[in-house]
Structures are given as C-alpha cells and as structure tokens.
Amino acid sequence: MIPRYSRPDMVAIWEPATKFRIWYEIEAHACDAQAELGVIPKENAEAVWKAKDVEFDVARIDEIEAVTKHDVIAFLTHLAEIIGNDQARFVHQGMTSSDVLDTTYNIQLTRAADILLADMDDLLDALKRRAFEHKMTLRIGRSHGIHAEPTTMGLTFARFYAEMDRNRLRLQLAREEIASGAISGAVGTFANIDPQVEAHVCSMMGLKPEPVSTQVIPRDRHAMFFATLGVIASSIENIAIEIRHMQRTEVLEAEEFFSKGQKGSSAMPHKRNPVLTENLTGLARLVRMSVIPAMENVALWHERDISHSSVERGIGPDTTVTLDFALTRLTQVIDKLVVYPDNMLANMNKFRGLVMSQRVLLALTQAGVSREDAYRLVQRNAMKVWEDGKDFKTELLADDEVTAALSPAEIEEKFDLGYHTKHVDTIFTRVFGEC
C-alpha cells in the first residue's frame, strides 16, 4: 500500500480496527446462534453485545498478542476485559481461529469490491458522457500506429465504456464468488459446532455459507477474485496508453487536465506530460502482479497450510487500494480530458487525403477497372502526395484514366467523411442502448 496511491475508504477496510470490529460481529452473531440452539446460555450471548458500541483498543490487543503470540486469542482476551471474563466464557466456543479469520477476509474483500464497483460506476458515467459529447468528433483510426480510416472519438470512448462494462460484470461475479463464510471448525466437519451457527453468522454478515470448507475457505475463490482485478487493471492500462499516445507532442489530440497552479506549465506549454496515465500504466502492473501469487495460493496442503496468509496480508490491501486509486484517477482523467478536435482533423489530413486511397481503389474495381489497373492508378497518384506533397483528391480529379472510370462527383464522394460515421449510431445503440 503506497500512501500516495491510497484513498481513505479503501484503506479503512484493512485497518486493524475494522478487522477487530468484524471479528467481534462474527463472534457475537455466533453466540446468538449458539444460544438459540441451547448450546450456550442466552444471557452470555446477550452480554457480548455490551461491546457493540465500544471502540476496541488496538494497542491493548497488540500488547496481549505480544505475549500469547496468537491474534484471535489476544482479541478474545481483550473482549473479555470489556464484557467480563465470566460473561465472555462461551465466546468462540466450538470455533477455530480460521472460522473468524477467513470469514473476515472475505468480508473485507466483499466490501472492497463494493467500493470498486462504485468506482466503476463513476468511470462508466464519465466514459458515457464523453462518448456522447464526442460521438461525431472525427478522428483518424490507426492500426499499428499508422493512419488507417476515419473513426470518431466517441467510438473510442464507447469501446472503453463497453470494456469497462464487461469488467463491471466480471467484478460483480467475483464479488459473489468471494462473499462466502465458514464457521465449520478445525477441519470443516462441524464436529464441534452446528452448521446453523454458520448459517446465522453468514446471513447476518451478508455472506453465503461455504458449501464445503476445510479449516479454510477454498482459495480458488480468491484466485478468481484477484485474476478479475488483474483484468480490470489491464483495461485501465489500455485506456491509459490511448491517452498517452493522444498527448504525445506530434499527435496532441488530447491532454490530461492541467491545473493552473501546477508549476512549469506555461513557460513550456509543449511540456505538459501525461503523468497521470503513465502512472496508471504502472499501477496496472502493480495490480496485475497479485494474480500469480493468488493462483499459487490455491494448492494448500491437506485441510490447510498457512502459506497463503502472508501473501494475502500483502495483496489483499495492496491490490484493492491500488485499484481503487487507479479507477478513481482514471475517472478524473476521463472526466477532465481536454480533447482537441481541430488537431484531430489536422492529423487526419496530414497526408492530404491518402487515407482514402483504399476507398478509391475499391471504387475503381467496382467501376469495372481490373484490380491491377486500379492499383496502378491509385499508386501513381498516391506517390505524388507522398513524395511531392500534392493533394490526393486534386490529383485524382486531374488523372484522365481515373476520371474515365469515376465521375468527379463519385471521386468527391469517396472523400466524404460521413461515409465513415454512418453506423456510429448503430454502435452507440449496441453499447449504450441509446444513441
């Protein structure tokens, strides 16, 4: 977790105080269920709720853990200090530490997912708004970094929207995957605790009971969760790289918003660096690096070993905090991106109509010219543009062999940009359900 790439709400999920609060709620709900089953006295279950509004003393718990070398016991000891040793004696009965720890970890990931889903909603809003704003803003489409055919900036935003919308669905599924809890005892047999306790705790904490756990909740769920975050990060990188390209000096079709106060802007107006999207490129790598360890965590020995734990202490907070920051930063970038339609047009016209050469080629063949001849005609005019700086349409109109096949109006028509935008509405309707 890197402070400068962290937002407080997500950080809060991973703070000790939050963790202890969740532990407490799990234990208290478990006592309720145990009392309902007649396993422990009702008054002891009720007594646990006396700590409902107490803020646990993290330092005190750490102090106890330094002696007991066991975090759950330390917490329970502190809880007993609050509600009284006698009242506390049935807390945690029949449970194993992992019941609390694993269920808590999943609650934290679920809450993290909720924040990320909200982040994605904001991002989707921004992308949609900018897509409609620039629905018909013409721009050259590029394959291999080379001019191909015209497209629109709206379509660029629309495809980012569609991609992030898929990611939102993936994250929703990953959230469901991870929203399971287990209160099943030392090796998952419910030998010492009734499954109804698990059912009650899960219900109260917004989880589904894990159908079959061992000492732990199976880690394929977590692997899928972090893999999904890795895909989202890769999409962030995808958008970031588009913007970085748009901002490079020779292209300059857009710029990240640059606040007036930021030093150095106006004395070197050419030197506005796309540092936010470059940063997002790096953050994507940081998020993605959790994927393989999360997968390596799946193969635990028998009913559990604890090799996954240190990994999860790292990637749980680090990955969700970084992705939350990245999504939010990306939303700001999209929201405030300064788009330069004039530069887009200028870039498109950089080679004076040459990007239309394929359309002309096609028109010539459709007009009955042989493929070879059509190619030769296009080629000789294209070369005048490329080498001598002529205008492609002008040259075509002046080429008798071309005009023998195509009328001036037909040639003009090949340079009509509306040709390229005629299905933008179709695509928008597919993506947004409206256009």
Q: Which residue in this structure is represented by tokens 């975090």?
A: 71
Instruction: Kindly identify the residues of this chain, within the stretch 153-192, that bind a copy of itself according to CB under 8 A.
Output: 155, 158-159, 162-163, 166-167, 170, 173, 177, 185-192
Tell me: does residue 421 bind a copy of itself (CB under 8 A): yes
Tell me: does residue 5 bind a copy of itself (CB under 8 A): yes
Strand 254-255 relative to strand 338-339, pairing: antiparallel
CA–CA distance, 315 with 297 (Å, rounded to integer): 12
Tell me: does residue 275 bind a copy of itself (CB under 8 A): yes
Comparison of 25 and 181: residue with beta carbon closer to a copy of itself: 181
Among residues 70, 265, 307, 423, the one annotated as catalytic is 265
The piece of 27-35, 122-130, 141-149, 401-409 that touches a copy of itself (CB under 8 A) is: 141-149
Of 205, 324, 357, 395, the one binding a copy of itself by CB under 8 A: 357
Tell me: does residue 423 bind a copy of itself (CB under 8 A): yes
Burial of 172 (0-12, 13-18, 19+ CB in 10 A): middle
Tell me: does residue 203 bind a copy of itself (CB under 8 A): no
Give the chain's radius of gyration (CA, Å).
31
Tell me: does residue 2 bind a copy of itself (CB under 8 A): yes
* Count of chain residues binding a copy of itself (CB under 8 A): 148
Q: Which residue in this structure is represented by tokens 């002891």?
A: 44
**Active site (annotated) includes residue 265:** yes
Question: How many CB atoms lie under 10 A from the CB of residue 200?
Answer: 20
- Helices marked H in 179-219 — which ranges? 195-205
Query: What residue type is 120 in one-letter code?
Result: M
**Active site (annotated) includes residue 310:** no
Instruction: Kindly identify the residues of this chain, within the stretch 63-102, that bind a copy of itself according to CB under 8 A.
Output: 67-70, 73, 93-94
Among residues 143, 144, 259, 270, the one annotated as catalytic is 144
Of 8, 211, 260, 434, the one binding a copy of itself by CB under 8 A: 211
Task: State the nearest-atom distance from the C-beta of 8 to a copy of itself, in Å.
Answer: 16
Of 221, 330, 334, 340, the one binding a copy of itself by CB under 8 A: 221
Task: State the nearest-atom distance from the C-beta of 190 to a copy of itself, in Å.
Answer: 4
Of 278, 373, 401, 413, the one binding a copy of itself by CB under 8 A: 278
Tell me: does residue 50 bind a copy of itself (CB under 8 A): no
Question: How many CB atoms lie under 10 A from the CB of residue 411?
Answer: 21
Which residues in 98-152 belong to E strands, given as ranges? 138-143, 146-152
CA–CA distance, 311 with 307 (Å, rounded to integer): 7
CA–CA distance, 323 with 307 (Å, rounded to integer): 24
Q: Which residues contact 114 (CB under 8 A, 6 or more apart)?
A: 175
**Looking at residue 54, what DSSP letter applies?**
P
Tell me: does residue 424 bind a copy of itself (CB under 8 A): yes
Q: With contact defined as beta carbons under 8 Å apart, do 40 and 32 qualify?
A: no
Instruction: Kindly identify the residues of this chain, within the stretch 325-354, that bind a copy of itself according to CB under 8 A.
Output: 347, 350-351, 354
Tell me: does residue 11 bind a copy of itself (CB under 8 A): no
Tell me: does residue 314 bind a copy of itself (CB under 8 A): yes
Q: Three-state DSSP class for 90?
A: coil
CA–CA distance, 310 with 149 (Å, rounded to integer): 51
Q: Which residues contact 136 (CB under 8 A, 6 or more apart)?
A: 152, 154, 421, 424
Task: State the nearest-atom distance from the C-beta of 15 to a copy of itself, in Å.
Answer: 12
The piece of 23-31, 49-57, 111-119, 284-292 that touches a copy of itself (CB under 8 A) is: 284-292
Q: Which residues contact 246 (CB under 8 A, 6 or more apart)?
A: 252, 253, 254, 255
Instruction: Kindly identify the residues of this chain, within the stretch 232-271, that bind a copy of itself according to CB under 8 A.
Output: 233-235, 237-238, 240-242, 244-245, 247-251, 261-263, 266-271
Indicate which residues carry an active-site annotation.
144, 265
